[in-house]
Structure 1
């Protein structure tokens, strides 16, 4: 659903409300008042440029520019001919330029807007014009665009067309083609491109080529291929950079291979070419924090600080989120106070982490207080904010407020993605309103950008099992298997 659609009329949740709320609330976060002073600067410049009159040059005989004959009088025909030709060229150029500028600008706009199909149509039209000249840069931008939009076959077609038009491929264009396959999880095709590159002396793979391929292997949990790529890089004297190592760190962490993750990290600490940075710091803290290993997270935080890496706003948000999940509200509040002290702004993510902490335990009072403070400071709520609020009210049994939050999200044009619908499904299941749950699910299926995921089916299956509706459970499981076989959007 687009953000501009009117949500309240279509969202008409009907489950009953239960205003009960536990009186055992957690300690409220202290509001930290701060002021941000702003000053305005005005820059006034007065630049006056007076053009001095140019004195007319009185040329002597034989010294007029271009007069190689020594005669100052020129043949009129010799003077008129180039002027006439120049006028013709200018006329042709003036007739041509509006069209050239229009179509090239349209192509550039389509690429910037990531409208791959429109970009290809305009490019095809451009190639039919007599002024068209093939350029590697244009092909490069188009290959990158269609690759990012999950169109690897179009990337290959563009690459082949580029060669047919006489342009020599480079390591960069080969890498762009390889990246297109990687983004669509076509790892075998990507390796074939790598083999083609290795056969061409002027198109040898570099650290960026290997980094892209390593990331694809990490995302696919094919860690044996990662090790073989590392070995090949060593044989070619290509040193992994920090970006490459951060990618592998995240992959090992998500797969629960913490021993391998720490091995890579220790190697980075001893390296001269892939030193850890704040992104490394955030990756490690996030992995341990999400896994609930708070003490390990804190130890690594101190190690990174001792190594000279300074935290950023995202670093503090990761700490707040980890403490919130473990219900360590004192530490969560301390980090927020520390952010104020160091003049780090509280962001939407900061507030979302706090709201989520209270949402998980159904602490509606502190959740509302945080949300009110967020809006009071002019911070814009996003989809995650409302997902947390909806789940929080559902956990507190305040289902009438769930409806209010759904309506408010519509008024604020909050994008309704899969996570948003899952939160509403969760609230319906909590209220034992299966009819409303099914209605929300049907609405979800009507929207392409809200494709059901594993969480969607888990919520609904649990709700049906609770009511002993085994036939519904079977139908959902069959539907889930069928959706898993469909290509991702």
Structure 2
């Protein structure tokens, strides 16, 4: 990347200013209707009492109707006189829940049930916006056929098809790796009036192809964009640069970056910078990472917290603790708050370096700042204590995990097995397997390989062979 400047200290010359907080908007002004006629005190009191009773009855009625709606939804019933607002709120809740629920398929099933219940209401009118939201969510749940069913229902109900609806359906198929169907929809869009694909359509399709590293299809889509006269935008380039960087295709990544710089209305942003830094830093090309940082800084692109986390992670993994400390000092000097990811990166780096005093200090510090440790934090601590052979400290971490709301996963238990294996604590490994059973965490191939290694080192070859047979059956 010869066009980039020389290596410098990877710290910006000035701190990014914090944007001022927007003031809250004033509430709606009250509208004054015609003034009421003069009434006696008794009449006014009677009228107010009557109004209170009516308001109370309406409140109770609304509450009961909402409860009835929820009950109908849960029972998959079919009332046709539910409140529009209540039912739409229920639908919105199901859509929002997809961001948080791990069991996406079950949530999407409930979501579709709510929608079909909505269609049965007397007040219902076809709404393409609701259809599109559902199609998008079903695509995220990897249920393209259900998404297509809704797309067809949308047509049958007379909704006007547009580019957004087609793009949602195309995304549903491409997310599931059904690229032939997605290409078919793309061609259908070209032949449908007013629905020609745009840069957003192509960017979504390209992203799906990059998730499975199918660069041939990506090149085909880019060529198709050129034929259609559609120029890639910043989001398109960022998606491409990030994928090529993760695949360590640095020549292609550099070519895309130079191509991006030549575009008039397609300026690199902080996402471009972070993707580039992550690519070089992750492959331990620290000097190139620093050159890129300098180049983006000179172009006026200010770093964000993700930028500093990438720098910390890259320096930590390559043992550049001096530069890592310089980034930490800079962040502290300019009051850049550390996130959970920041703490995890630093704890992991110092843990691998065997600096137990430092990681324990950091662990206490993050708790004092009310940043809750997660499973990644505990994995780093277990690995660090395993390296120095301190089983008591690992037991303390387990007690902490039991008394907290941290969700433990298979990766954490694999770290435990590895740590106990290095110390020759074979009885504790059996305890870990029992703990996994209680937590409904199934051992994976890494669990078995780690146990086989531990038992082989300890001279228990018979048990190691037994585990090898179990591994082969997985």
Deviations 1:290-327 (A, max 9, x none): 22111111111111111111111111111111111112
Deviations 1:377-427 (A, max 9, x none): 333222211111111111121122112112212322012234323322322
Work out which of the residue numbers 349, 352, 355 in structure 2 matches 1:357.
349
Number of the residue aligned with 2:92:
108
Q: 1:52 to 1:202 in 2, by over 3 A?
A: closer
1:207 is the counterpart of 2:202: no
1:282 is displaced (CA, Å) by: 0.8
Higher relative contact order (CA 8 A, sep 6+): 1
1:214 is displaced (CA, Å) by: 0.8
1:459 is the counterpart of 2:454: no
Q: 1:441 to 1:140 in 2, by over 3 A?
A: farther
1:470 is the counterpart of 2:465: yes
1:221 is displaced (CA, Å) by: 1.4
Deviates more, 1:362-371 or 1:312-321: 362-371
The answer to whether the 8 Å contact 1:363/1:396 transfers is: no
Deviations 1:90-120 (A, max 9, x none): xxxx998753332222112111112311111
CA distance in 2, matches of 1:106, 1:218: 35
CA distance in 2, matches of 1:331, 1:268: 30
The answer to whether the 8 Å contact 1:362/1:394 transfers is: no
3-state secondary structure, aligned to 1:213: helix
Please show how residues 232-271 of structure 1 align to structure 2 within 5 Å. Answer: 232-271=224-263
Number of the residue aligned with 2:363:
371
The answer to whether the 8 Å contact 1:361/1:395 transfers is: no
Please show how residues 148-187 of structure 1 align to structure 2 within 5 Å. Answer: 148-187=140-179
The answer to whether the 8 Å contact 1:464/1:470 transfers is: no
1:136 is the counterpart of 2:120: no
The CA RMSD over aligned residues, in Å, is 3.0
The answer to whether the 8 Å contact 2:448/2:468 transfers is: no
CA distance in 2, matches of 1:407, 1:397: 18
CA distance in 2, matches of 1:253, 1:263: 12
3-state secondary structure, aligned to 1:224: helix
CA distance in 2, matches of 1:232, 1:394: 53
Deviations 1:57-76 (A, max 9, x none): xxxxxxxxxxxxxxxxxxxx
Please show how residues 221-370 of structure 1 align to structure 2 within 5 Å. Answer: 221-370=213-362
Deviations 1:198-224 (A, max 9, x none): 221221111111111111111211111
Q: How many residues align?
A: 398
The answer to whether the 8 Å contact 2:81/2:121 transfers is: no
3-state secondary structure, aligned to 2:142: coil
Deviations 1:255-276 (A, max 9, x none): 1211111111121222223221
1:349 is displaced (CA, Å) by: 1.7
1:368 is displaced (CA, Å) by: 1.0
Deviations 1:99-153 (A, max 9, x none): 3332222112111112311111111222223322221011111111111122222
Q: 1:49 to 1:401 in 2, by over 3 A?
A: closer
Q: 1:403 to 1:316 in 2, by over 3 A?
A: same
Work out which of the residue numbers 86, 90, 99 in structure 1 matches 2:83.
99
Deviates more, 1:47-56 or 1:135-144: 47-56
Number of the residue aligned with 2:54:
none
Structure 2: gaps (5+ residues): 1-22, 38-61, 66-79, 99-106
The answer to whether the 8 Å contact 1:464/1:473 transfers is: no
CA distance in 2, matches of 1:134, 1:50: 33
Query: What TM-score do you get using the length of structure 2 for normalisation?
Result: 0.77
Deviations 1:325-345 (A, max 9, x none): 112111111111111222211
Query: What TM-score do you get using the length of structure 1 for normalisation?
Result: 0.74
CA distance in 2, matches of 1:222, 1:200: 28
Q: 1:243 to 1:447 in 2, by over 3 A?
A: farther
1:434 is displaced (CA, Å) by: 4.7
CA distance in 2, matches of 1:49, 1:101: 23
The answer to whether the 8 Å contact 2:241/2:275 transfers is: yes
